[in-house]
Amino acid sequence: MSNTDYSTLRDSRKRQYLNVAGADKPLKSPVSHAVLESARRYRISRIRKKLVEHNCDAIILYDPVNIRYAFDAPNMQVWTMHNPLRYGVVFAQGPAVMFEFASCEHLCEGIETIDEVRTATGWMYMTTGDQVANRVKKWSDEIATLISQHAGKNARLAADRLDFLGQAALERHGITVVPGDAITEEARSIKSAEEIELMRWTIRVCEASMARIYEHSIPGVTEQELWAHMSFENSRSGGEWLETRLLTAGSHTNPWYAESSDRVCNLGEMISFDTDMVGPYGYCADLSRSWTCGYTKMTSKQKDLYSMALDQINHNLALIADGVSFVEFNEQSWQIPRESQSFRYSLAAHGVGMADEWPIILLHPDFTNNHGGHFEENMVICVESLIAEPGTESIKLETQALVTKNGIERLDTFPWETE
């Protein structure tokens, strides 16, 4: 294929994935509020269902992704990942109470699954200094009173992320605190039809971001300039944040996991990236692609590596179906060649929803100590490949698929470089 043909392909992808009807504008979601309301009701019902199954009376949530899942109340989510200053409590048989950052309580208005909004009590040292002990007591007294009102004495409270001072304070009130990760991960792993509709839209926005990167993949551009197109398209179309900065070119792709830099991309070099994009409605689009800078034909080595990566994706996708165990998947999975073993990716597949989720299925050389379990209908699974050899570039590919009764349905459509 000539470079002229590649320019035609570039323009075709731009027309297909970007909003180019008239002026270049943000993508506008077609999702109705009724769909969003239904997704909210489903998600909080999943939390309550898992609380019952795990014999817990309630769960306290600090992880902002879990708060988004249960309450759909986003607020300073990246900041609160490392500053635990907002939280929520969901009862198995009782209300959902959101404790919001001071002066932000209005952000929870109109969310029908939130029964009560209170002002959060923070007790991290940065905000309270030598008053930590007093703040912990105030916080634990309020939580204990709430638990007593709706679950009685000797309650079992799950927690997704809780400092040991908080746990000790609650236990002094006679509350048993247990890990809540299994509850949240199991709840989030099975999606409703409405969740899938929301996720499809995030993927649509992500593919527009990818088309923008493709359009600008010309010699002289830096890795950081290309990555900025992902942030731009996501933000202007209602998306939220990017979990990583994994876009590199040429020799910078190998070994993998280098972050975007001011390195200039040169004609014919492979550009490889992983989106890790948390987009509209808080859902994640986790897709990976690789292509050449300047729309050149791949070299024979680039073609060989790309072909292996795509073989791995297609082979492993075909293995996934409702009821297939992770052990069965591993035993039949695509075997990475010996030359690529030391450059291998950490996993073969993983769940995805509002972020990367359970299950994580390690690549076959590392599967020995992986967990049990099986694929279930309405899980969304990302299937990944990273192929490189000594002295070559890395090819990174990834697709996002819905598990159905009859196999899988790919949710992304951005093309592979197979022309």
The CATH number of residue 152's host domain is: 3.40.350.10
Whether the per-residue pLDDT at 279 is higher than 70: the answer is: yes
Whether the per-residue pLDDT at 6 is higher than 80: the answer is: no
Tell me whether residue 415 is in a domain.
no
Whether the per-residue pLDDT at 4 is higher than 60: the answer is: no
* Final residue before a domain boundary, out of 189, 221, 247: 189
CATH of the domain at 313: 3.90.230.10
- Do residue 163 and residue 219 come from a single domain? no
How confident is the model at residue 419, as a pLDDT?
61
Pairing mode, strands 347-352 and 277-278: unpaired
- Do residue 184 and residue 211 come from a single domain? no
What phi, psi does 190 have (nearest 5°)? -110, 120
How confident is the model at residue 16, as a pLDDT?
81
> Model-level pTM?
0.94
pLDDT in tens, 298-331: 999 999 999 999 999 999 999 999 999 999 999 9
Whether the per-residue pLDDT at 182 is higher than 70: the answer is: yes
- Do residue 296 and residue 200 come from a single domain? yes
User: With the C-alpha atoms ordered 124, 357, 206, 363, is the resulting torsion angle positive or negative?
Assistant: positive
Residue spans of beta strands (DSSP E) within 34-126: 58-61, 87-91, 96-100, 116-119
| 3-state SS class at 351 | strand
| DSSP calls for 360-394 | EEE-GGGGGG----B--TT-EEEEEEEE--TTSPP
SS3 content of the chain, % helix, strand, coil (to 5): 45, 20, 35
Tell me whether residue 418 is in a domain.
no
pLDDT in tens, 35-65: 999 999 999 999 999 999 999 999 999 999 9
- Do residue 177 and residue 324 come from a single domain? no
Tell me whether residue 417 is in a domain.
no
Tell me whether residue 416 is in a domain.
no
Number of domains present in the structure of the chain: 2
Tell me whether residue 195 is in a domain.
yes
Whether the per-residue pLDDT at 23 is higher than 80: the answer is: no
User: With the C-alpha atoms ordered 185, 191, 195, 200, is the resulting torsion angle positive or negative?
Assistant: positive
* Final residue before a domain boundary, out of 189, 211, 243: 189
Amino acid at 408: I
Tell me whether residue 250 is in a domain.
yes
Whether the per-residue pLDDT at 5 is higher than 70: the answer is: no
| pLDDT band, very low/low/confident/very high, at 151 (cuts 50, 70, 90) | very high
- Do residue 17 and residue 43 come from a single domain? no
Domain range for 139 is 33-189
Mean pLDDT in residue range 131-160: 96
Tell me whether residue 124 is in a domain.
yes
* Final residue before a domain boundary, out of 189, 206, 222: 189
Tokens of 165: 């001072």
Whether the per-residue pLDDT at 176 is higher than 70: the answer is: yes
Mean pLDDT in residue range 154-176: 96
Tell me whether residue 204 is in a domain.
yes
- Which residues partner with 369 through β-bridges? none
How confident is the model at residue 179, as a pLDDT?
98
- Do residue 406 and residue 371 come from a single domain? yes
- Do residue 196 and residue 241 come from a single domain? yes
| 3-state SS class at 357 | strand
Whether the per-residue pLDDT at 1 is higher than 50: the answer is: no
**Is 18 within 8 Å of 214 (Cβ atoms)?**
no
Locus of tokens 């002229």: 4
Burial class (CB in 10 A: 0-12, 13-18, 19+), 70: buried
What's the mean per-residue pLDDT of the chain? 94
- Do residue 134 and residue 198 come from a single domain? no
- Do residue 185 and residue 239 come from a single domain? no
pLDDT in tens, 337-396: 999 989 999 899 999 999 999 999 999 999 987 788 999 999 999 999 999 999 999 999
- Do residue 68 and residue 9 come from a single domain? no
- Do residue 267 and residue 387 come from a single domain? yes
- Do residue 167 and residue 223 come from a single domain? no
